[in-house]
Amino acid sequence: MANHTFPRELRLLTPEHFKNVFNEPVRAASPHLTLLAKANTLGHPRLGLTVPKKALKRAVWRNRIKRLTRESFRHKQHELPAIDIVVIAKAGIGQLSNAEISHLLDKLWRTLSRRCNG
């Protein structure tokens, strides 16, 4: 049975980790989210989140997007290649329902996997 946790090892924690991904990334984008990815040598994917105040003014709204993204990643981590991913939220994502955000993330994870493996 697969372990569906989100431990510290699966997170991008330092500014250097984020900068590495921003340098020549593979992109998967929609009008509401942009996913940037870069291969790593760790053997598992890692996730970093950026939800700017400009996109969502209230902390509660930003936290909702982060929570949904982490949950989606937690379930899809075993299907993803060994890549570092930064998820960037854009204005308008707060208007989507939880189900719509989950569906959008599933689609973007698949796109990213295809682009990083192929």
Summarize pLDDT for 20-50 with one digit per residue, the tens: 999 989 999 999 999 999 999 988 899 999 9
Q: Which two tokens stand for residue 68?
A: 């949904």
- In angstroms, the CA 27 to CA 110 distance is 12
Q: Which two tokens stand for residue 2?
A: 């697969």
Please determine, for residue 2, whether its predicted confidence score (pLDDT) is greater than 70.
no
Please determine, for residue 52, whether its predicted confidence score (pLDDT) is greater than 50.
yes
Residue with the two structure tokens 């697969």: 2
Q: State the Cα angle at 37 between 36 and 40, rounded to 5°.
A: 155
Confidence (pTM): 0.92
Count H helices, E strands: the chain?
3, 4
Query: Are the beta carbons of 32 and 39 closer than 8 angstroms?
Result: no
Residue with the two structure tokens 């989100």: 6
Q: How confident is the model at residue 1 (pLDDT cuts 50, 70, 90)?
A: very low
Helix 98-117 and helix 59-76, axial crossing angle in degrees, nearest 10: 50
Summarize pLDDT for 53-93 with one digit per residue, the tens: 999 999 999 999 999 999 999 999 989 999 999 999 999 99
Please determine, for residue 113, whether its predicted confidence score (pLDDT) is greater than 70.
yes
- Compare 2 and 43 and report the one with higher pLDDT: 43
- In angstroms, the CA 42 to CA 50 distance is 22
Among 45, 25, 24, 23, which residue's Cα sits nearest to residue 35? 25
